[in-house]
Amino acid sequence: MAFEGLAERLQSTLKKIRGKGKVSEQDVKEMMREVRLALLEADVNFKVVKKFVNDVKERAVGQEVLESLTPGQQVIKVVNEELTKLMGGEQSKIASASKPPTVIMMVGLQGAGKTTTTGKLANHLRKNHNRNPLMVAADIYRPAAIKQLETLGKQLDMPVFSLGDQVSPVEIAKQAIAKAKEEHHDYVLIDTAGRLHVDEKLMNELEDIKAVASPDEILLVVDAMTGQDAVNVAENFNERLDITGAILTKLDGDTRGGAAISVKAVTGTPVKFAGMGEKIDALEPFHPERMASRILGMGDVLTLIEKA
């Protein structure tokens, strides 16, 4: 696999520490070097890593860690705790407007999974919350984007609002909400076109949609395989739109998913759901502590600690 090596490296560091009665600052430093590598290999942004490593070091050289019986393990424990904290300790819920419909806007880069996730979210709201959402096809640019959402609607037997690809997304959003009120839909899910965070014109369009739709949630859909650029993307979308949360897609792959940390770190908003497959029911609530273990390769590390 892509990330072998971390386990061995940590093991040898742990071995060294295990043999010693006392653990020095130098030992902690060495260990944090390995942790830094692990985080970078997991695609956590290097600036976030830098700050994180410094924070942990500060805590780890404290008395209670260095003088414990199992300092190596204590360091890892601190790392895991801090990582979970960084990602937002608790699982978060989707908004529910006091006066329906609740409007949710899906935004993000091209190919991140917005359209698929719109379908999944509609399914989730109906199945688990007994809601009656209206999906809105507001991507007029990508070839067959409307058809894609309509196909998902058909699979789910749920309505999709569309005005074709000759009407502006702003107008589509406006009319969709009116329609939702008329037909008593309690959620409106707006699927927008993928766009680069540096595309002035299309980012303006999102602001315009936001202005007419007054969404209760703006969810940034992020591919879990995203690398260092995740911070730029999250920063820009957040600056423009004040996003309320993120959805991490394609977590059914073998990526460590460090982008989750980067997004949380720069936007301060929680990751709310995880996409776990291409199928319409492959959406799960996001669990920060599980994600922390995954990013660090904690499965391996925990086994190591048991061995140590």
Partner 1 sequence: SKTRHSFVGAMNELIKDYRKVDEDFFEELEEILISADVGVHTVLTLIDELKDEVKRRNIKDAKDIQPVISEKLAELLQKSDDETELKLKEDGLTIILFVGVNGVGKTTTIGKLAHKFKQEGKKVILAAGDTFRAGAIEQLEVWGERAGVDVIKQQSGSDPAAVMYDAVHSAKSKGADILLCDTAGRLQNKVNLMNELEKVKRVLTKEVPDAPHEVLLVLDATTGQNAMSQAKTFGKATDVSGIVLTKLDGTAKGGIVLAIRHELDIPVKLVGLGEGIDDLQAFQADQYVHGLFADVLEQAEEVAKE
Residue numbers at the binding site for ligand GTP (CB under 6 A):
108, 110-116, 139, 142, 145, 193-194, 196, 221, 249-250, 252, 275-278, 282
Does 226 help bind partner 1 (rule: CB under 8 A)?
yes
- Which of 230, 282, 218, 235 lies closest to 256, judged by CA? 230
Cα–Cα nearest to 211, from 252, 168, 180: 168
Say whether 96 sits in a helix, a strand or coil.
coil
Residues 141-180 that bind partner 1 (CB under 8 A): 141-145, 147-152, 155
Q: According to CB under 8 A, which one of 27, 34, 43, 205 is a site residue for partner 1?
A: 43
Contact between residue 87 and residue 288 where contact means Cβ atoms under 8 Å apart: yes
Is position 252 an interface residue for partner 1 (rule: CB under 8 A)?
Answer: yes
Angle in degrees, 0-180, between the axes of helices 71-86 and 288-296, rounded to the nearest 10: 130
Candidate residues 131, 185, 256, 264; the one interacting with partner 1 per rule CB under 8 A:
256
Residues between 48 and 107 with contacts to partner 1, criterion CB under 8 A: none
- If contact means CB under 5 to 8 A according to the sort of partner, which of Mg ion, ligand GTP, partner 1, none does residue 276 touch? ligand GTP
Looking only at residues 196 through 225 of this chain, which bind partner 1 when binding is defined by CB under 8 A? Answer: 196-198, 223, 225
| Shortest Å distance, C-beta 148 to ligand GTP | 6
Site membership for partner 1, residue 46 (CB under 8 A): yes
**Whether 136 contacts 190, CB under 8 Å:** yes
Report, in Å, the least distance between residue 42 CB and partner 1: 7
Residue 239 found at the interface with partner 1 (CB under 8 A) = no
Residue 28 tokens read as: 């902690």
Could you give the CA distance from residue 63 to residue 78 in angstroms, rounded to a whole number? 13
Q: Which CB atom, from 194 or from 270, has the smaller least distance to ligand GTP?
A: 194
CB of 149 to partner 1, least distance (A): 8
Q: Exposed, middle or buried: residue 108 (CB in 10 Å: 0-12, 13-18, 19+)?
A: buried
Q: Which of residues 96-125 bind partner 1 (CB under 8 A)?
A: 109-113, 115-116, 119
- Contact between 258 and partner 1 per CB under 8 A: yes
Residue 223 pairs with which residues in a beta bridge?
Answer: 249
Would you tell me which residues interact with Mg ion (CB under 5 A)? 114-115
The nearest distance, CB 6 to partner 1, in angstroms, is: 11
Q: How far apart are CA 291 and CA 287, in angstroms?
A: 6
| Exposure letters 214-236 (e unless 16+ CB within 10 A, then b) | ebbbbbbbbbbbbebebbebbeb
Is the Cβ–Cβ distance between 96 and 102 less than 8 Å?
yes
Stretch that binds partner 1, among 38-46, 59-67, 79-87, 265-273 (CB under 8 A): 38-46
